[in-house]
Amino acid sequence: MRWRASVKRGSFAILALLSSSAGILDNSAFGEPRKAAAPAQDMLFDFEDGMVPSLLQAANATLSIEKSGRETVLRAALHSRENLYTSLNFRPEKPWDWRGGEVVGLAMEIGNPGRESVQINLDIVDGQGRTATRSTVIPAGGSGTYYAPLKGSDLERDTGLRDDPDYWRMAGRKFTWMWGTKQLDLSSIREFKIGSISLATDRTITIDKVRIVRNPVIDPNYLKGIVDRYGQAAKIDFAGKVKSDADLRAAARAEVAQLRGAALPDRSRYGGWKNGPKLKATGFFRTEKVDGKWAMVDPEGYLYFATGIDNIRMANLTTMTGYDFRPGSVKPRDADDVTPEDSAGLYRVPDSALAGRFVASQLRRDMFQWIPEYNDPLGDHFDYRREGHSGPLDKGEAYSFYRANLERRYGQTSPASYMKAWRDVTTKRMIDWGFTSFGNWLDPSYYATAQLPYFANGWIIGNFKTVSSGDDYWAPLPDPFDPLFAERARATARSLASEVRGSPWCAGIFIDNEKSWGRVGTPQGQYGIVINTLSRSASDSPTKAVFVKLLRKKYGTVAALNTAWGADIASWGALAKGVVLKEHGAARQADYAMLLKAYAREYFRVVDGALNEVLPKHLYMGVRFATWGMTPEVIEAASEFVDIMSYNEYREIPHEGAWSFLAKIDKPSLIGEFHMGASDAGLYHPGLILASDQKDRAAQYERYMDAVIANPWFVGAHWFQYVDSPLTGRSYDGENYNVGFVSVADVPYPEMVAAAKRMNGRLYPVRFGKKALK
């Protein structure tokens, strides 16, 4: 259905989004069609005067005013190559006051006259500098009303979902929540920005009727009964939705009958390019630069490029049910564990704990139409999470609808026999779809299959001391100068060695993930580790002690340090006790860079050393940098020790302007995570990169992979992840994204499968070219 706006000119009253059928909005999230509501609205911009507002500033975009039918709209041409970011910044001379009403939101008409969808980010900033970021996707040739809730009871409670079902009974599409604060000061809105990031091609959008919406009707039951017995959206119909156990069994039989698990004819035993040159074979994976392009080389000596899918495992696929158990009835985590809670498999509480089960969150419990009893045949798919990152519960019972659906789909002829069927089917899928590897976070039970290369993963966790970058999104960073860190690194390496067992099928090893190393843009962001650590006492922080030693070695006297820094530090002892630095001049930043690199070098040196002790023939794949949390100093330090650099890049494409540093470090690199998602699969949050539907998602996937394959420094890319997130959010952090190659019912998305087959089928000739042929 195409969306179009109907506007009553000359007033701020009703703007109703109409379908092509007599003004009825079919919002299936509420279960039935109904007439669009008419909330009160205050116009900010309607562009009827034919002028670009003076308070509007554009970056990497060209603005104009044009007629569109009977309306006058703002047209923005968004440029793709000049810069990573495009933005339209609306900033008044005095902050806006948007108060008034129990429920408040910002709405606007947005159109996309082009042939490609475009993801639009909306950033709203209050007078205190706090930002709320939302996003939406405008389909190719589409237009309609898009709105962002700014005030309301829904924004005051944590549901455990990254984004919730639509709850306004107003015609339009809700901007998807991304990050920031949900509690803006509406009395002082400093600016709002509309823009895009990392466009692959130029796009154009139109904007009209930017307005404040007050007091729309709210659906009071928008969170009740939203999950059916299969873990699917109960109130939404969509392609591929499972209606019965018979559906699942029939789909499984049909798929198993056609799966062959036969590699493409141009593949070597390990997935390398059999039709390409034969290089030195070492019996293990290695790297080599060939004709100016980095490549992995498989154990037999064939050129190899890693394509695959992450997170083929049971961990991180459970969702909180709202139940908990009496304190003391659940076994605490072991201090010697080498796997974090969110990466651990299912843990079912002992039967002795069941009598103490109680509802800890009625909000969560009411989301489910069905949860089995523990003695139910499907009761063996319960889990218990002893810690979490975010959500209304920091611990509690969880359930895996995906694992339950595997039992329904494949049956059980012996205890957990459906898990063997799942491994067999999944392996054949990966090979039939043309992938050359499994991605990160693979269930170790796959390691011994010897059918497809894999990447092992470990985490360094323990009670070692930590440091902070000031923006520790997942957790504080380790203090690598603490001897306990090295001890725990060796424990992780030994655990991995016991799983890998020297197998040549292990293409490489990742250690840790998305640590908050720092953000470029401000001294505090880039050098937060150093600035925060300098404020601490050297007696409590091994890293601080090293920093003091390095500064003493460089300057000799405190007077010399004070002269360079323009500081007034009384003595080296005073520095060791801790100094709070509020100014960050050029000389200080130069030293910050030195200290940050020293910190990062120690981290990577320790990890590399631990792996070399027990896994010397396997590639160290690095730490999977989140591109929102890395700095040049840390990258340079890592490149001294890592065999293949790894990055998680959630963008439309890896924009060439953001990746020019690869030429400087000249190391083989791999994309550890990326994804795209859409809202037509029954989930309430598409993901970090938005597509208009499954066809568009598949097209974006191919485009991203084509960009990676064309880059001479990349040696692979892994999609995140195999299975969609749980509808009501994964237990650890609430992610509820449509980012799977398969649904919660283990049903593959045909568009994604077809795209993967096309991309993998042309992989090697495109990457290495005809001149590389034998």
pLDDT in tens, 108-136: 999 999 999 999 999 999 999 999 999 99
The answer to whether residue 170 scores a pLDDT higher than 50 is yes
| Whole-number average pLDDT of the chain | 93
Domain ranges of the chain: 4-214
Structure letter (DSSP) for residue 597: H
The reported pLDDT for the residue numbered 69 is 82
The answer to whether residue 439 scores a pLDDT higher than 60 is yes
pLDDT in tens, 290-328: 999 999 999 999 999 999 999 999 999 999 999 999 999
Q: What is the mean pLDDT of residues 94-104?
A: 96
The reported pLDDT for the residue numbered 140 is 98
Q: Report the alpha-carbon distance of residue 236 to residue 29 in Å, rounded.
A: 6
Residues 6+ apart with CB under 8 A from 379: 372, 373
Q: Report the alpha-carbon distance of residue 746 to residue 405 in Å, rounded.
A: 7
Q: Report the alpha-carbon distance of residue 29 to residue 223 in Å, rounded.
A: 10
Q: Report the alpha-carbon distance of residue 414 to residue 240 in Å, rounded.
A: 29
Higher pLDDT, 170 or 643: 643
The answer to whether residue 615 scores a pLDDT higher than 80 is yes
Q: Which two tokens stand for residue 759?
A: 């991309």
The answer to whether residue 100 scores a pLDDT higher than 80 is yes
3-state secondary structure of 24: strand
The answer to whether residue 16 scores a pLDDT higher than 60 is no
pLDDT in tens, 585-613: 999 999 999 999 999 999 999 999 999 99
Share of the chain above pLDDT 90, in %: 88
Q: 191: which strand partners?
A: 125
Residues 6+ apart with CB under 8 A from 549: none
Instruction: Please give the C-alpha separations between residue 410 and each of 245, 258, 413, 483, 663, in angstroms, as whole numbers.
Output: 10, 16, 9, 48, 48
pLDDT in tens, 471-518: 888 889 999 999 999 999 999 999 999 999 999 999 999 999 999 999
Helix (H) or strand (E) holding 4: strand 4-7
Phi, psi of 207, rounded to the nearest 5 degrees: -130, 140
The reported pLDDT for the residue numbered 665 is 96
The reported pLDDT for the residue numbered 770 is 66
The reported pLDDT for the residue numbered 472 is 87
The reported pLDDT for the residue numbered 744 is 98
Share of the chain above pLDDT 70, in %: 94
Q: Classify 4-214 by CATH class.
A: mainly beta
38 band by pLDDT with thresholds 50, 70 and 90:
low
Instruction: Please give the C-alpha separations between residue 71 and each of 41, 74, 324, in angstroms, as whole numbers.
Output: 18, 10, 56
68 band by pLDDT with thresholds 50, 70 and 90:
confident
With 0.95 as the threshold, say if the pTM is over it. Answer: no
The reported pLDDT for the residue numbered 412 is 94
Instruction: Return the HEC string of 169-219.
Output: CCCCEECEEEEECCCCCCCCEEEEEEEEECCCCCEEEEEEEEEEEECCCEC
Q: What is the mean pLDDT of residues 254-273?
A: 96
The reported pLDDT for the residue numbered 771 is 55
The answer to whether residue 524 scores a pLDDT higher than 60 is yes
